[in-house]
Chain A
Amino acid sequence: MKTRGAWAVSRQGIRTVTVLELRQRIRSTRWVIALVVWFLVVAAITGLTFAVFRSDLIGTDPTQPWIGRTIFGLVVFFVLFLGLLVSPTLSATAINGDRAAGTLATLQVTSLSAAEIVFGKLLASWIAALAFLAVSVPFILIAMSAGGTSAASVLSTLALLAVILAAVCAIGLGFSALTARTPASAVLTYIAVATLTVLSLIAFGLTVPAISSDDQVRLYDVSPAATWDQSGDQQCVWRTQTIRQVHTERTWWLLAINPFVVVADAMPESAIGSAGASAGDQDPMSIIRRGVREARTGPGNEQTRCWSSTQSGPAERPLNRSPVWPWGLAVNVLLGAIAVWFAVRRLRIPQRNLARGTRVA
């Protein structure tokens, strides 16, 4: 028999912890009530979204693809929103709660490794989060039936939601290993989620002055001496001018780490990048996607302000179309991985240092 370290992992060990966690949770009736409430809320939101976008208020043909995509996008965003609200409660007290209840140390002294305990708890909270996601699937499918969304993008969206919820569960687990008291870890987890979703957005807005600069830009502009010629076209010339530009290419990542942006950006593009919003991409997902990619591209050092049919100006600065969501998803997953690593370190025994305010047993 070999000595197993803190990172030794076996399927059986993880399953033991996961089954234990789920048994404790599933047998409480609160869990069933929560699922029912979730079901009703998502149903209500889906119904309301349909009611709004199928009504005369929109003033356009309700069978247009972008209407269908808007309905789909709003339902998915709402499910993600609820998932971000619920996931922290599933994992953010998993470790310090057990410690307070006096059940953690009795598990640590068994043959289970620290990693098995952490992964088992993570898996259990993720399964619980997936149960909420599964309850939402009927409504996501109903939203898909509104048109404009392919089955493939429904699947990829669900997969992304699942990964994001796993990352949030992992972050909650990390905080539950950090703090002694359960309210503290719950609050920290919500702050982390709020940082990813709302505070990052606010930071993006607030940093606009900091990333603005007066740049020398080549402008292809109407000549000051120009007169309207017979054809009605403008006389355009190149000139250099100092104008104020917002260099969002330095802060686009603040948008990219947002789980909502990740989900939106990963949707297959419809008519992205074409000048002006075509009828195809007025849905929220497409608007976000275009916005974040434009932010990433940033302003160039050449601009055209001349719209002439005869004179060819500089080609419009190409939009960086490479997807943003892999970066955002990677950051979220990385945060989760760091949290898991930290939690395993905290659960290693024999413990050398005890965090302030914590007890072993």
Chain B
Amino acid sequence: MAINAEGDGADPAAGVVATDVHRSFGPVRAVNGVNLTARKGAVTALIGPNGAGKTTLLLVLAGLLAPSSGTVRVAGLDPVTQSSLARTKTGWMPDVFGTWDTLTAREVLTTVADAYRIPRAVARPRVAGLLGLVHLAEYADRPAHVLSRGQKQRLGLARALVHDPEVLLLDEPASGLDPRSRVDLRHLLRDLAADGMTVIVSSHVLSELDELADDAVFMSRGQTVASETMAEASSSLRSWRVGTLSLSTLTAWLTDADIVWRPAPGHRPGIDLPHDEPGAVLVDLAGAEQASELLARMVGARLPVSSLAPAAGALEQAYLALDEERR
């Protein structure tokens, strides 16, 4: 697996660069050595288990928390010494947030536009456009407290975009969203990145990020443990699932061909394999080309193969691999 240790020089074109960032709350070291580079025009996934320090790191990047040590550059600005300027370039959506309940969705966004000193003449069409973008146009003049959790989440996203930031920081943006909204969110973020925005998305729902992220940064116990591009993650050795109509035939062929296999989860691993019945096994392959090659061989051998697909998302596998390294 191609995992490069972090700490290599900062990319001058980077939207967000964090260098050896530490942040502790009393004795608790929430962020304990983060090195991160988020490219401009790309979506960077921030991945890690609960309590890995993702939220704290985003608070530092958003300019709400000062790092105990280390430096941060957001859109080329230091959120500590150039706080207000950096804030105007940064959009932040927290994982948990409230809304001003008695305000309508439109008023919420107009208030935020006021808070960013956007002239009303500019703000009005922008707010209307954003409400359309997050599919809240029909709720524009209803008070925010009637919105569902997912709708509030979308309103929160629109709020982070009101001032057209250069850097967008999203903390678990997909939580509470229905599948349709998740797809919309993915498309929206891809569009924003294509327009040159730097997008950082934290999540632990890895399947979400597979198609969304260009780069991935893994965090564990307050540290960045690895980072890689999605291309790297996809080409690295990972499990593929081979479905078959006859397990005994397939496993016999795999063993003959010297291909290491193991029972797929959910198919009663262990003693009763192989059976002459439908099932699946896992094989480790390095990327799609190898998969294609294997498929051709299996079809050539007239094996009763019904499917061949990655056993899990690229990020999930990379993440789990890291998790194992840590143990």
Assembly CA distance A2 to B83 (angstroms): 10
A110 is contacted by which of B25, B97, B112, B143 (Cβ under 8 Å)? B112
Bound state CA distance, A76 and B81, in angstroms? Answer: 50
A358, B324: Cα distance in complex, Å: 34
B65 touches A351 (CB 8 A): yes
Instruction: Tell me, in angstroms, the Cα distance from A361 to B301 when the chains sit together.
Output: 59
Q: Nearest A residue to B156 by beta-carbon distance?
A: A106
Counting CB contacts under 8 A, is A312 at the interface? no
Q: Which of B87-95, B127-135, B250-258, B283-291 contacts A (4 or more CB under 8 A)?
A: B87-95
A16 an interface residue at 8 Å Cβ cutoff?
Answer: yes
Is B71 among interface residues, defined by CB-CB distance under 8 A?
no
- Identify whether the interface residues of A are mostly helix, strand, loop, or mixed: loop
A109 lies within 8 A of B102 (CB): no
Residues on the B chain within 8 Å of A16, using CB: 111, 114-115
A360 to B87: give the CA distance in the assembly, Å: 16
* A155 contacts partner chain B, Cβ-Cβ < 8 Å: no
* A101 beta carbon closer than 8 Å to chain B: yes
Digit string of A338-361 for contact with B (CB within 8 Å is 1, else 0)? 000000000001111010000011
Q: Which residue of A lies closest to B171 (CB)?
A: A361
With an 8 A cutoff between CB atoms, is A244 at the interface?
A: no
* Chain A residues with a Cβ closer than 8 Å to the other chain, count: 35
CB distance from B67 to the nearest CB of A (A): 8
- Which residues of the partner chain B approach A28 to less than 8 Å between Cβ atoms? 102
Chain B, interface size category, equals 35 or more
User: Which of A19-27, A80-88, A187-195 contacts the other chain?
Assistant: A19-27
A350–B71 CA distance with the chains assembled, in angstroms: 13
- Given A111-B117, A350-B60, A27 and B84 contact (CB-CB distance below 8 Å): no
Q: Flag if A108 contacts B64 (CB, 8 Å).
A: yes
**Nearest Cβ distance between residue B158 and chain A, in whole angstroms?**
12
Task: Closest B residue to A25 by CB, please name it.
Answer: B102
* Residue on A nearest B72 in the bound complex, by CB: A350
The interface residues of chain A lying within 8 Å CB-to-CB of B80 are 350
B206 lies within 8 A of chain A by Cβ: no
Name the distance in Å between B60's Cβ and chain A's nearest Cβ: 7
A205 within 8 Å of B (CB atoms): no
B239 to chain A, nearest CB (A): 38
Q: Which of A3, A12, A20, A361 contacts B85 (CB 8 A)?
A: A3
26 contacting pairs across A/B (C-beta < 8 A): A1-B88, A3-B81, A3-B83, A3-B85, A13-B117, A16-B115, A19-B114, A24-B103, A27-B102, A101-B98, A102-B97, A103-B99, A106-B92, A109-B92, A110-B115, A111-B115, A111-B116, A113-B84, A349-B64, A349-B65, A351-B66, A352-B66, A354-B65, A360-B59, A360-B64, A361-B97
The answer to whether B96 has its CB under 8 Å from any CB of chain A is yes
Besides the contacts A103-B98, A106-B156, what 11 more A-B pairs have beta carbons closer than 8 Å? A1-B88, A16-B115, A20-B100, A23-B102, A28-B102, A350-B60, A352-B66, A360-B64, A361-B64, A361-B94, A361-B96
